[in-house]
Amino acid sequence: MLLEVFIIAYAIAAGYVAAGLISSFYSLMTNRPASFQVASSTMIGRAFQVPVIVFGGPFIVMRNALRSRAIENQSLSWLCLSLLIVVTWSFISGLFVIHIALSL
């Protein structure tokens, strides 16, 4: 039982770390924070933004949830719901990242 919990926690951490790395790399390259808006007008730019949105999504959601909690004084239940979404999304993307790492 403890091994399964460790594997789930490891997958969540791997997914969130991948999200943070991808979002930070996107911010470094474009000088704007990653968001869910597709701002590019070229097809190559849009194709580059899709993986950023898919894999960087947990970081974007958590950053926006913490910002809205601090600035707009959103309720704690809103933050908990955002955390649930982030954990689920990070788990799924973490499984994908671990699978790719193991296959290499």
Residue 43 pLDDT > 90, yes or no?
no
Q: Which domain range does residue 52 map to?
A: 2-103
Would you state the pLDDT for residue 28? 93
More confident residue, 19 or 38: 19
Q: Is the pLDDT of residue 21 over 80?
A: yes
Beta-carbon contacts of residue 56 (< 8 Å; ≥ 6 apart)? 19, 20, 22, 23, 26, 34
Residue-level pLDDT at 4: 95
Confidence of residue 98 (pLDDT cuts 50, 70, 90): very high
Give me the number of domains the chain comprises: 1
Whether the pLDDT of residue 40 is over 80: the answer is: no
60 contacts: CB under 8 Å, gap ≥ 6: 19, 23, 34, 35, 36, 53
Tell me, what's the pLDDT at 46? 82
**Tokens for 81?**
């719901």
Q: Give the phi and the psi of residue 39 in degrees, each rounded to 5.
A: -95, -10
* Residue 44 and residue 65 in contact, taking contact as beta carbons nearer than 8 Å: no
Q: How confident is the model at residue 30 (pLDDT cuts 50, 70, 90)?
A: confident
Residue 2 reports pLDDT greater than 90: yes
